Amino acid sequence: MTANYWESSQALQWKLTQEELEENRKEDLKYITEREYWHLTYYCCNVAFKIGRTMQLRQRIIATALTYFKRFYARNSYRGSEPLLVLTTCIYVATKIEEYPLHIKNVVDEAKNVIGEKLFKFDCANVAEFEFYLMEEMDFYLIVHHSYRTLTKLMLDLKLPVSSIQQAWWITNDIYRTDIPLLYPPHIIAVTIIFIVGVLIPDANKYKDKIKEWFIGLNVDMNEIVELSQEIINFYELWTDYSDRNIYGILKKLRASSSSDNNNNSNKIATDKKK
Amino acid sequence: MTEVINNLNDTNTPTNDINNDKKKENSNKKNNRKFVINPINNYRKEKKIGEGTFAVVYEGVQLSTGRKVAIKKIKLGDFKDGFDMTAIREIKFLQELKHPNIIELIDVFSNKTNLNLVLEFLDSDLEKIIKAKDVVFSVADIKSWMLMTLRGLYHCHRSFILHRDLKPNNLLISSNGQLKIGDFGLSRDYGEPSEVMTSQVVTRWYRAPELLFGAKEYGYSVDMWSVGCIFAELMLRTPYLPGENDMEQLDIIFRALGTPTEETWPGMKLLPVPSKVEFSIYPKTPWRNLFTAAGYDALDLLEKMLTYNPAKRISAQDALLHPYFRNKPRPTNPSKLPHCTKEDINNSKKRKNLDGEEKISKRLFV
């Protein structure tokens, strides 16, 4: 996390609002339901975490990759792109940016492995070609700040038990499945996670006063923290409902409408323009 | 005239506005893109001004403003691995770092297979000026260049970025005398001190002793050593520690500064190299005879930059606060600094090619 988050491109160019994201999502929601939209997103995130695990990538790399993925889909639709190609490219670019360069073939093979050849029909050339489009869509702003380091530092300052540091770390990982990294600064995310974890500590009473005191001393907007923790809880509710059995169906739904309804689409664009 | 150029630069924000507009029309970008000014058409390449192993540099014009720019065309060639790490690093850091003493990345665009970085046009660099034998420079001039270098470097360091390739050739000079740090192809973000990095960085003459000893964990101090070497070179008008190979480089450093001991550099023995090699013991060469024109404050600062123990070496921030910059003479105003004539360009072009050859091997490291 830089000394100067407020001057970073993440704060100036890539901090978005809920409205902007929803506006862009409208295109996909013509073809699939919102629930399906999120299931597809969760599926892609799961694939990223799985690739990270099998290739033993650092958590930071996957976090950066998923931030890229979210940035790309803040401007594009699933329907107009190949989510799994985008995802693989995001991971490949992230390994370079986080200074852990891998051979492109390793990344593509692993993606094929995890996703299965039925859904993943791309090769190295596709990823290499798409790399440029991905970077262009992000306006070449490539540095991403994460909350991991702030989180660990704050938790050590607070002297919370190791088990809750672990728990906080898991929540941080989970947050990359949502839009939260695009909407909130990393330090707010870190503080909110401490807020949540503070409640979940087994012998919470022992730490209650200390945590309360610590929050009083912080110079952050508590409303924002409460709002964000509500969002995180909402996410977990959606998340429990997730299963990847339906993914093929969702992708088919997106594809089918784009190939057979060509005329329909052009009409739609025309009517959009009129509006 | 230089003022006019400055103003032009200032009013150059329209490109950014275009980007913002682009962002707003995000409903279906692929269709919308046609209506935005195509960056390819906004630049005209005029003539080739340099060529390295991974890029060709052209002089060009930004048509919407008439501003002179340098266009760095990255050769993709038969790289099937996507973009080269050097190009990625350069984009990554220059997009983030905005400072008067760091080269500005104006735009990035592609045409089919090439990636083009549009950089601000800088016609000279410190190496050219040092080599131009007909240019005389004063103590105040050196102070001015040092000040600008340290300001740019401090901005990198406080943004957690290691440059890892500082040398006079990478300190570019604009037509109004401003010094700007360029070439971030070897840079890295530096967060956790325990992170393992390669020691194969920095052009040899400017490489810190801990790197020559093969240290895998190092920090901002490697850049400060380079600044110290550049400082000495400015005073001597010739490279201070020009080693032919890595082992000789250490020998030359020891001859000049005295062989380090466990006392002057605790922990040195723990680095990979010293355990295997015996070094000759040299005393320190007295600086007074070498740097005849330098003041005591300048030599004190130089000594603090060329300190063996990386933990004791002065930081960019502390160097900026050193009395050297407050004492008289005051640093020369950048617009009044000596500037290099064009005759020496051929000379340094040769060197640039050499640097390029070195880079191809370095690129493979992290």
pLDDT number for residue B51: 79
- Is residue B29 scored above 50 in pLDDT? no
Determine the distance in angstroms separating the CA of A249 from the nearest CA of chain B, rounded to an integer: 24
B36 among the known binding-site residues?
A: no
pLDDT number for residue B304: 96
Q: Which two tokens stand for residue A269?
A: 């664009």
Kind and range of the H or E run holding B359: helix B345-362
pLDDT number for residue A163: 83
Q: Are the Cβ atoms of A96 and B159 closer than 8 angstroms?
A: no
Kind and range of the H or E run holding B105: strand B105-111
Determine the distance in angstroms separating the CA of B141 from the nearest CA of chain A, rounded to an integer: 32
Distances (CA, A) of B332 to A3, B1, B75, B178: 31, 19, 40, 11
Cβ-Cβ contacts under 8 Å for B236 (sequence gap 6 or more): B290, B291
Question: What 3-state class would DSSP assign to B274?
Answer: coil
CA distance B290 to B182: 30
Q: Confidence band (pLDDT; 50, 70, 90) for B47?
A: confident
- Is residue B21 scored above 80 in pLDDT? no
pLDDT number for residue B366: 42
> pLDDT tens digits for B76-117?
655 567 778 888 899 999 998 999 999 999 988 877 667 889
CATH topology of domain B124-362: Transferase(Phosphotransferase); domain 1 (1.10.510)
Per-residue DSSP letters for A137-162? HTTT------SHHHHHHHHHHHT--H
> pLDDT tens digits for A80-117?
899 999 999 999 999 999 988 888 999 999 999 999 98
Indicate the average pLDDT of chain B.
81
> pLDDT tens digits for B309-328?
999 999 999 999 999 999 98
CA distance B20 to B15: 9
Strands B55-62 and B188-189 turn out to be unpaired
Among B89-103, B124-138, B266-280, the minimum mean pLDDT is found in: B266-280
Average pLDDT over residues A74-79: 92
pLDDT number for residue A272: 45
Which residue among B27, B85, B110 sits closest to A24, beta carbon to beta carbon?
B27
Is B134 designated active site?
A: no
Q: Are the Cβ atoms of B95 and A149 closer than 8 angstroms?
A: no
Q: Higher model confidence: residue A75 or residue B115?
A: A75
Indicate the average pLDDT of chain A.
86
- Is residue B30 scored above 60 in pLDDT? no
Neighboring chain B residues of A13 at a CB cutoff of 8 Å = 23
**Torsion angles phi and psi, residue B206, rounded to 5:** -110, 15
Q: Confidence band (pLDDT; 50, 70, 90) for B356?
A: very low
pLDDT number for residue B280: 84
pLDDT number for residue A257: 57
Which residue among B81, B159, B188 sits closest to A128, beta carbon to beta carbon?
B81
> pLDDT tens digits for A141-186?
999 989 988 888 888 888 888 888 888 999 999 999 999 999 999 9
Nearest CA in chain B to A26: B27
Which residue among A75, A93, A135 sits closest to B26, beta carbon to beta carbon?
A75
CATH 1.10.472.10 domain range(s) in chain A: 16-144+247-274, 148-240
Per-residue DSSP letters for chain A? --TTGGGSHHHHTS---HHHHHHHHHHHHTTS-HHHHHHHHHHHHHHHHHHHHHHT--HHHHHHHHHHHHHHTTTS-STTS-HHHHHHHHHHHHHHHTT----HHHHHHHHHHHH-TTT----HHHHHHHHHHHHHHTTT------SHHHHHHHHHHHT--HHHHHHHHHHHHHHTTSSHHHHS-HHHHHHHHHHHHHHHSTTHHHHHHHHHHHHHH--S-HHHHHHHHHHHHHHHHHHHT--GGGHHHHHHHHHHHHHHTHHHHHHHHHHHHH-
Q: Are the Cβ atoms of A4 and B159 closer than 8 angstroms?
A: yes
Q: Are the Cβ atoms of B91 and A99 closer than 8 angstroms?
A: no
State the virtual CA torsion across A53, A59, A61, A67 in degrees, nearest 10. Answer: 110
pLDDT number for residue B342: 55
Q: Which two tokens stand for residue B35?
A: 């209506």
Q: Higher model confidence: residue B66 or residue B192?
A: B66
Q: Which is catalytic among the residues B141, B165, B344, B355?
A: B165
- Is residue B277 scored above 80 in pLDDT? no
pLDDT number for residue B78: 52
Neighboring chain A residues of B13 at a CB cutoff of 8 Å = none
Range A16-144+247-274: architecture per CATH: Orthogonal Bundle (1.10)
What is the number of CB-based contacts under 8 A between chain A and chain B? Answer: 87
CA distance A33 to B63: 46
Q: Higher model confidence: residue A139 or residue B278?
A: A139
A30 interfacial to chain B (CB closer than 8 Å): no
What's domain A148-240's superfamily in CATH? Cyclin-like (1.10.472.10)
- Is residue B348 scored above 90 in pLDDT? no
Q: Are the Cβ atoms of A137 and B366 closer than 8 angstroms?
A: no
Q: Are the Cβ atoms of A143 and B92 closer than 8 angstroms?
A: yes
Looking at residue B184, the DSSP 8-state letter turns out to be -
- Is residue B75 scored above 70 in pLDDT? yes
CB-neighbour burial class of residue A39 (10 A; exposed 0-12, middle 13-18, buried 19+)? buried
Mutate to test the interface with A, among B19, B76, B84, B92 (most CBs of A within 10 A): B92
CATH topology of domain B2-120: Phosphorylase Kinase; domain 1 (3.30.200)
Determine the distance in angstroms separating the CA of B211 from the nearest CA of chain A, rounded to an integer: 19
Neighboring chain A residues of B110 at a CB cutoff of 8 Å = 132, 136
- Is residue A120 scored above 70 in pLDDT? yes
pLDDT number for residue B330: 93
The answer to whether the B2-120 and B124-362 domains have the same CATH topology is: no
> pLDDT tens digits for B209-265?
999 999 988 999 999 999 999 999 999 999 999 999 888 899 999 999 999 988 899
Cβ-Cβ contacts under 8 Å for B37 (sequence gap 6 or more): B18, B64
Closest by CA to B160, choosing from B193, B199, B191, is B191
CA distance B259 to B249: 12
> pLDDT tens digits for B163-184?
999 999 999 999 899 999 999 9
Which residue among A2, A128, A141 sits closest to B95, beta carbon to beta carbon?
A141
Q: Are the Cβ atoms of A142 and B83 closer than 8 angstroms?
A: no
A166 interfacial to chain B (CB closer than 8 Å): no
Determine the distance in angstroms separating the CA of B54 from the nearest CA of chain A, rounded to an integer: 17
Q: Higher model confidence: residue A211 or residue A111?
A: A111
Average pLDDT over residues A196-225: 83
Residues of B with CB under 8 A from a CB of A: 19, 22-23, 26-31, 80-83, 85, 88, 91-93, 95-96, 108, 110, 115, 158-160, 188-189, 191-192, 366
CA distance B149 to B249: 24
A75 interfacial to chain B (CB closer than 8 Å): yes
